[in-house]
Amino acid sequence: MSTLEIAVIGSGPAGLYTAEALIKQAALLPVPPRLRVDVLDRLPTPYGLVRYGVAPDHKSIKSIADYLRGVLEHQDVRFLGGVHLGTDVTRDELLGCYDAVVYATGAMRDRRLAIPGEDLPGSYAATDFVNWYCGHPDIDPDAFTLDAESVAVIGVGNVAVDVARILARDPAELHSTDVPQPVFDALAASKVREVNVIGRRGPAQAKFTTKELRELGELPGVEIVVRGEEIEADPAADQDRRIRGNLTVLRGWAGRPPQGGGPQGAESRGAELPGSPGHARRLTIRFWLRPVAVEGTERVTGMTVERTAIDDRGVLAGTGEYQTLGAQMVLRSVGYQSVPLPGLPFDERTATVPNEAGRVLADGGPLPGEYVAGWLKRGPTGVIGTNKSDAAETVRSLLADLAGGPGPGDVPLPRAGLLPYPDPQDPLRYQPGGTTLRAPQDPPQAPGQRPGVADALARRGVRPVSYQDWLRIEAAEVELARSLGRGGRVKLPGRDALLAACRPPAG
Ligand code: NAP
């Protein structure tokens, strides 16, 4: 029996749940094929957003990496880190090397606000800030100096809650986390005293989840401010469990009298903020304010917003009432977007790859052997676990195609006939179709008979980071934490440090 060889591009949750689904679903086939799953990632490290997106103080979510480790360590799975699709290996090469390719590259780009001043120094995409505190190798560990006293966070999703929490939290509480040491030092020296989280619609439309919201109220030394008049919502909104939970939390905060000491309550906005360290920080959540302009000449000095309301037609509209909030730093947290992959169809409107149940579509039909999973497939929604069912769907499509089962409307699918499923003896199960890349009567090529990805990489002088190499990075991070007296692991700052750890000089 030949080996079914699949490439998964991206080793984040979507990619690794795809690898897991391949292992599990292939094993359930009537004649289980031998399987080899190569998981490629442009970074030298696996786990994608679990490592570089989940906030460092969310340790239980980060522990999903322990589960995903089991996938990477499966005998049928191979990790090839530091391999960039488009430069280190081309799409055509991948299609020549594998029976199918699943793209699971996530959503790395920030959405834009498209307002004046957006690119002033001091205005950043929240994605950059998240990358920074998570030690992403694409960003300089010294990229942020937190000398702003007041920060405006635009957007009311879970990423906005994450960045607001990291800015407001007492840095001492991050000592035992894995934040790189330069990041920890910058957070410890932070002058931030006030964080304003700003939603353009009301609390019933906010995207954050109740657990994440409630956590803000549990931060020691942080005063939470919510204006009662901004959270009066349509009673119908109380029907949704998440919204009901959010409103309960927000109402609890709005009902509290302003607290003394440290930054003053909502009614004294604009008062001088105490600059001395040790004062409590204030975190204010605002609604019905639409960003109009980031103010400043040399750098950010404020944020002008317009009050909004739902009009008679149920549409969000500006009221013509403007105000400028003081801020020396703006974090735009208005959602992620996927980036197009070289040669692959891409819908700029949704920033996803057109697909049906994971099959990449071009001109309305499936492209032979190409699939998507995760945020690239469905957009940046859901929690990490959402990727599990999402990946399972893609893998069902993939295996059905390779098995030669009928596609939607009984149309024969590309690459059909590679797998003897469901009954290779039953010719009615499969009718060869025009889009078949490899006719089912041709025996699948065994590994070795077709080019391996290693050849393509070697030709370009690319030496992939193996799983063993990655374990050396992990060991170096554990050792760094020990030497600094900080927690179980401290991330190595920057790509060079990662590569040096996994490729120690010979001798
Ligand atoms: P998100 O949930 O889509 O929230 C984006 C926010 O930006 C919304 O409040 C949106 O408001 C606002 N927005 C968009 N365009 C805007 C504009 N032009 N002006 C002002 N506001 C604008 O995105 P996210 O926070 O980046 O999160 C991405 C995904 O990751 C979500 O599924 C999230 O749950 C998940 N995540 C989960 C966790 C966790 O579980 N702990 C942590 C982080 C992220 P409108 O609704 O009005 O468009």
Residue nearest (by alpha carbon) to ligand 1 atom 39: 158
C-alpha of residue 330 to centroid of ligand 1, in Å: 16
- Which atom of ligand 1 is nearest the CA belonging to 156? 9
The confidence score (pLDDT) of residue 507 equals 57
The ligand 1 atom at the shortest distance from the C-alpha of residue 206 is 9
Q: Determine the pLDDT at residue 277.
A: 46
pLDDT at 258: 52
Closest C-alpha to ligand 1, atom 42: 158
pLDDT at 438 over 60: no
Global pTM reads 0.89
Tell me if 401 sits within 8 A of 415, measured CB to CB.
yes
Which string of DSSP letters, residue by residue, matches 303-333?
EEEEEEEE-TTS-EEEEEEEEEEE-SEEEE-
* Residue predicted with more confidence, 340 or 267: 340
Q: Between the CA atoms of 243, 246, 247 and 252, what dihedral angle is there, to the nearest 10 degrees?
A: 160
Q: For ligand 1, what atom is nearest to the CA of residue 316?
A: 47
Extract the tokens encoding 293: 């302009």
Q: How far is the CA of 128 from the centre of ligand 1 (A)?
A: 15
H helix intervals, 210-348: 210-216, 241-254
Question: Tell me, what's the pLDDT at 410?
Answer: 42
pLDDT band of residue 240 (cuts 50, 70, 90) is confident
Q: What is the pLDDT of residues 445-489, one digit of tens each?
A: 444 467 799 999 999 999 999 999 999 999 999 999 999 999 999
As for ligand 1, residues whose beta carbon falls within 6 Å of it are 113, 154-160, 162, 199-201, 205-207, 212, 291, 333-336, 380-383
Round to whole Å and give the CA distance between 399 and 208: 36
Residue to substitute in 334, 350, 375 for testing ligand 1 pocket (most ligand atoms within 8 angstroms of CB) = 334
pLDDT the model gives residue 294:
98
From the alpha carbon of 61, which atom of ligand 1 is closest? 41
Nearest atom (ligand 1) to Cα of 212: 41
Q: How confident is the model at residue 434 (pLDDT cuts 50, 70, 90)?
A: very low
3-class secondary structure per residue, 173-217: HHCCCCCCHHHHHHHHCCCCCEEEEECCCCHHHCCCCHHHHHHHC
For residue 265, pLDDT over 60 is answered with no
User: Which of 158, 294, 305 most suits a substitution to test ligand 1, by most atoms within 8 Å of the C-beta?
Assistant: 158
Split at pLDDT 50, 70, 90, the class of 404 is low
- Among 154, 159, 338, the mutation site with the greatest number of ligand 1 atoms within 8 A of its Cβ is 159
Nearest CA residue ID for atom 7, ligand 1: 334
Residue with tokens 């505190």: 133
Per-residue pLDDT tens over the stretch 209-235: 999 999 999 999 999 999 999 998 666
Q: How far is the CA of 487 from the centre of ligand 1 (A)?
A: 30
What average pLDDT score do residues 35-41 get?
97
At position 5, the amino acid (one-letter code) is E
- Per-residue pLDDT tens over the stretch 124-143: 999 999 999 999 999 999 99
C-alpha to C-alpha distance for 395 and 413, rounded to whole angstroms: 14
Coil, strand, or helix at residue 55? coil
